[in-house]
């Protein structure tokens, strides 16, 4: 059997390559993909060639143990169904709907420990949001929003929207979001933001001051734009916190720290989902965080933010859309053979 897999081959170039699947060994499982979600922040850095060379892709995910260099397989949000088992595998896995941190491909071989069974209440498309929802949960945990605090979120891509939706469940003083694109700002208001502004607006500081006169207690920089980090520091009040969730790749960040920052006691907090902050390690595990992420997916139903669906064979169109028209896209999915039938059987 052959599988079709997506490869990033050069800046601005992707290709679909067919390879013969290896024979299953021991407890290995063969999974047929149904849906995989593009992570536009990280995957656009790879598509554009803006990743740092010789850095491990992700040391915590077995399928992503290589380094950032072309040709590169990437992706970490695949939902599929187990269609075959190795000679020593538990045959009860066959037919199960599973999530895997796997690159975009029509099929993949995995081990049971690398697969996450999907709750029966969720469709494949909903389940594909697991990594981004886990990331949003991690951001909220690291920011530690308090009762009545004023919070500002820069960036309303899919991770920003999920973070906003989680923050909106807290009894905050205000929740203000910023994004360049009106499509995303409207989605942000629907997610529970008090207000949503264009960060390039001439009236921005006055608009923010009307809602947060003493500055933000807590700001999140989730836009992927280095310039937004300085803006986040600017709108954060004395002794406030700025959670930096963006990965900038090899883009440099130029900050003016010679002004009010020096005396402001603002804390910059690096937040990344591959680990738990040390202060949580006594009570929390990745499994516990996953369980919360599943519950939040069931509650928020984020598939309403799927803006585009492409077959894997049209990957070039998908990445061109994200690269050239980001204001038109939120969550973009690859749909594989059989996915429509799976969707119709949910619920």
Model confidence over 257-281: pLDDT tens digits?
A: 888 888 899 999 999 999 999 999 9
Region 105-119: mean pLDDT is: 96
Answer yes or no: is 288 within a domain. Answer: no
Is the domain of 214 the same as that of 260? yes
pLDDT in tens, 309-331: 999 999 999 999 999 999 899 99
Query: Distance between CA 341 and CA 156 in Å, rounded?
Result: 31
Is there a single domain that holds both residue 136 and residue 230? Answer: yes
Confidence (pLDDT) at 61: 62
Q: Is residue 50 part of a domain?
A: yes
Q: What's the confidence (pLDDT) of residue 287?
A: 95
Is residue 295 a part of any domain in this protein? no
pLDDT-based confidence at 256, cuts 50/70/90? confident
Distance, CA of 159 to CA of 167 (rounded, Å) = 12
pTM (two decimals): 0.92
Asked whether residue 345 carries a pLDDT value surpassing 50, the answer given is no
In this structure, the answer to whether residues 199 and 142 fall within a common structural domain is yes
Q: Does one domain contain both 217 and 252? A: yes
Residue identified by tokens 């006594």 is 282
Average pLDDT over residues 33-55: 89
SS3 208: helix
Residues 50 and 169 in one domain: no
Does residue 214 have a pLDDT over 90? Answer: yes
Same domain, 114 and 144: no
CB atoms within 10 A of CB 299: 11
**What is the reported pLDDT for 139?**
98
Query: Which residue range forms the structural domain that includes residue 39?
Result: 2-118+301-345
Q: Which residues pair with 172 in a beta bridge?
A: none
Task: Provide the pLDDT for residue 346.
Answer: 39
Asked whether residue 56 carries a pLDDT value surpassing 60, the answer given is: no
Residues 6+ apart with CB under 8 A from 290: 116, 130, 134
In a domain, 87, yes or no: yes
Q: Do residues 108 and 209 both lie within one domain?
A: no
pLDDT of residue 258: 83
333 touches 128 (CB < 8 A): yes
Contact call for residues 12 and 310 (beta carbons, < 8 A): no
SS (H, E, C) 315-344: HHHHHHHHHHCHHHCCEEEEECCCHHHHHH
CB 17 within 8 A of CB 2: no
101 vs 253, higher pLDDT: 101
* Residue scoring higher pLDDT (337 or 76): 76
Between CA 115 and CA 317 the distance in angstroms is 29
Task: Report pLDDT digits (tens) over 154-212.
Answer: 999 999 999 999 999 999 999 999 999 999 999 999 999 999 999 999 999 999 999 99
Helical H segments across 103-157, by residue range: 124-127, 130-143
Please state the separation of Cα 149 from the chain's center in Å: 25
Question: Is 26 a member of any domain?
Answer: yes
Residues 141 and 48 in one domain: no
Residues 270 and 323 in one domain: no
- Partnered with residue 16 across adjacent β-strands are 6
Percent of residues, the chain, with pLDDT higher than 90: 83
CATH number of the domain to which 107 belongs? 3.90.180.10
Say if residue 18's pLDDT is above 50. Answer: yes
Q: Are residues 148 and 92 in the same domain?
A: no
Task: Please check whether residues 164 and 95 belong to one and the same domain.
Answer: no
The pLDDT score that the predictor gives to residue 251 is: 85
pLDDT of residue 24: 95
**Strand bridging mode 115-117 / 97-100:** antiparallel
Domain count, the chain: 2
Q: How confident is the model at residue 67 (pLDDT cuts 50, 70, 90)?
A: confident
In a domain, 124, yes or no: no
pLDDT band for position 284 (cuts 50, 70, 90):
very high
| Residue 284 falls inside a structural domain | no
Let me know whether 183 and 249 are in one domain.
yes
Residue 320: both structure tokens together: 């061109």
CATH number for the domain that contains residue 196? 3.40.50.720
The answer for residues whose C-beta is within 8 angstroms of residue 277's C-beta and 6 or more apart is 141, 142, 271
Categorize the per-residue pLDDT at 248 as very low, low, confident or very high, splitting at 50, 70 and 90: confident
Q: Is the pLDDT of residue 144 over 90?
A: yes
Do 244 and 221 form a contact (C-beta atoms < 8 A)? yes
Instruction: Report the pLDDT value the prediction gives residue 261, as an integer from 0 to 100.
Output: 87
| Any domain includes 123 | no
Write down the pLDDT at residue 155: 97
């Amino acid at each position: 059997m052959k599988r079709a897999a997506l490869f990033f081959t050069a800046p601005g170039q992707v290709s679909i390559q067919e390879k013969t699947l290896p024979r299953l060994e021991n407890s290995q499982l063969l999974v047929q993909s149904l849906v995989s979600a593009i992570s536009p922040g990280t995957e656009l850095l790879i598509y554009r060639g803006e990743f740092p060379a010789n850095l491990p892709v992700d040391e915590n995910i077995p399928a992503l143990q290589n380094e950032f260099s072309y040709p590169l397989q990437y992706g970490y949000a695949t939902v599929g169904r187990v269609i075959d088992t190795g000679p020593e595998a538990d045959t009860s896995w066959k037919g199960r709907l599973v999530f895997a941190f796997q690159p975009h491909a029509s099929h993949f071989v995995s081990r049971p420990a690398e697969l996450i069974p999907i709750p029966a209440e969720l469709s494949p498309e909903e389940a594909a949001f697991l990594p981004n929802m886990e990331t949003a949960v991690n951001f909220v945990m690291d920011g530690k929003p308090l009762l009545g605090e004023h919070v500002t979120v820069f960036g309303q891509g899919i991770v920003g929207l999920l973070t906003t939706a989680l923050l909106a469940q807290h009894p905050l003083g205000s929740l203000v979001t910023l994004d360049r694109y009106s499509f995303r700002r409207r989605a942000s208001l629907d997610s529970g933001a008090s207000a949503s502004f264009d960060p390039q607006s001439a009236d921005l500081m006055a608009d923010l001051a009307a809602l947060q006169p003493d500055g933000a207690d807590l700001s999140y920089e989730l836009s992927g734009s280095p310039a937004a980090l300085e803006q986040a520091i600017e709108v954060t009040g004395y002794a406030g916190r700025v959670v930096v969730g963006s990965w900038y790749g090899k883009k440099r960040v130029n900050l003016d720290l010679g002004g009010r920052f020096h005396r402001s006691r603002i804390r910059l907090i690096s937040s990344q989902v591959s680990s738990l902050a040390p202060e949580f390690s006594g009570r929390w595990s990745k499994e516990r965080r996953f369980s919360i992420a599943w519950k939040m997916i069931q509650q928020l139903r984020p598939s309403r933010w799927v803006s585009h669906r492409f077959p894997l064979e049209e990957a070039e169109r998908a990445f061109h859309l994200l690269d050239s028209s980001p204001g038109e896209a939120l969550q973009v999915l690859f749909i594989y053979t059989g996915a429509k039938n799976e969707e119709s059987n949910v619920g």
